Amino acid sequence: MQLTDRQLLIFKTIVDEFTKTAEPVGSKNLMNLLNIKVSSATLRNEMAALEEFGLLEKTHTSSGRVPSSKGYRFYVEHLMEKELDSNVENALSEVFHERHYSVEEIVKRSCDILSQMTNLTSVVLGPETSSQNLQHIQIFPINERSAVCVFITDQGHTENKMFHFEENVSLNDIQTCCNILNDHLAGTPINELSSKLEEIRPLLSSQVVRHEVLFQAFVSAFVKFASDNVYTSGTSNMLYQPEFADIEKLRELMKFLEDSSVWRQLGSSNEDISIRIGNDDNQVIPFENVSVVSSTIRINDEEEGKLMVVGPTRMPYNKVVALMEYMAKAIGDLYRNDR
């Protein structure tokens, strides 16, 4: 497919305008947007040619055109110019230098900021733990009713869990429990920790006074540790997208966004930046007018996470991709520096 310079300009202008307005672009409107002199009839002919190429399509309610899924793919591969505003970059830089926040808190704040800046839905997918084994457990008592537990895997991944006990637990009980768990659970796959803990329950009950309190705390922590580490922000932003004005479509979309298994599938790409446009690209997204942009967060040689943005196919890809590249690099640097 070989487009003329004029066709490229017309197509890019239509994509940019539809991204901003969500309204089909007609030839009269296009004349006002272009800085070249061309008749309305010529524009209609060029738009018809772009439609034949499969880059544009007509809507049923207007004589104007909108980009097709194929058109958006062409745009991101050949015409997109990534754009990161310097004010935005400065604001993000301040967030990533807030040292009193933990890495996990910074990641969640980044996800929130991303959804606010794009008015779309953002998702952070943490490192996959199912293929990792427990290496060590450390417990730091705060008082007799609370403690911080740190889980370390054989791949260097750490998880911090806050324990709040319903009754007082002695320092001796906590230390004895920790020693037993390290002796019997080291090397256990993360997703098998809960069942393995059940096997050593009699041993805990024979050596730890408040064994039931500690047992329940660890069961809960292990379940959360093994579950998908997914954080979502800005889901309500989809309510304001005209593509989902139909309540049934919106309901289906909300169900889609709540399915954590979907994010694992969408995050399976090894590319630094992956752009999935509608259901033409894959069978994971069941909507023709939804795109998902994902960026890989490099944590270490063995682990990686994903940063994602979900929105209509007319999302501003140039700004979204620039934001995600910046944030993914900053988050990855934070993880490595925190280790």
**Strands (DSSP E) found in 154-251:** 158-164, 230-233
Phi-psi region of 327 (alpha: psi -120 to 50; beta: other; left: phi over 0): alpha
Residues 258 and 320 in one domain: yes
Long-range Cβ contacts of 73-78 (<8 Å, 24+ apart): 73/277, 73/280, 73/281, 74/1, 74/11, 75/11, 75/12, 75/15, 75/317, 76/275, 76/277, 76/317, 76/321
Residues 46 and 111 in one domain: no
Q: Give the chain's domain count.
A: 3
Greatest distance between any 2 Cα atoms in the chain: 89
CATH number at residue 324: 3.30.450.40
Residues 267 and 180 in one domain: no
* pLDDT, position 104: 67
Residues 318 and 187 in one domain: no
Residues 169 and 264 in one domain: no
Residues 109 and 220 in one domain: no
Residue type, 312: P
State the residue range of the domain holding 25: 5-79
Per the CB < 8 A criterion, the answer to whether 280 and 288 are in contact is yes
* pLDDT, position 332: 78
Q: What is the pLDDT along the chain (339 residues), one digit of tens a residue?
A: 789 999 999 999 999 999 999 999 999 999 999 988 889 899 999 999 999 999 999 877 667 899 999 999 999 999 999 988 888 888 788 777 766 666 667 777 888 888 998 999 998 877 666 667 899 999 888 888 888 888 888 876 677 778 888 889 998 999 999 999 999 999 998 878 888 999 999 999 999 998 999 998 888 888 776 655 677 889 889 888 898 888 888 888 888 887 767 777 776 777 889 999 987 655 678 888 899 999 988 766 666 778 899 999 999 999 999 999 998 888 777 766 665
* pLDDT, position 303: 66
Question: Which of 226, 254, 269 is the C-terminal boundary of a domain?
Answer: 226
Residues 119 and 261 in one domain: yes
State the number of CA atoms in the 13 A half-sphere of 43 facing the CB.
Answer: 24
Question: Across-strand partners of 137?
Answer: 151
Residues 101 and 236 in one domain: yes
Residues 262 and 323 in one domain: yes
Residues 100 and 11 in one domain: no
Residue 162: partners with Cβ closer than 8 Å, 6 or more residues away: 146, 147, 148, 149
* pLDDT, position 125: 79
189: DSSP letter: B
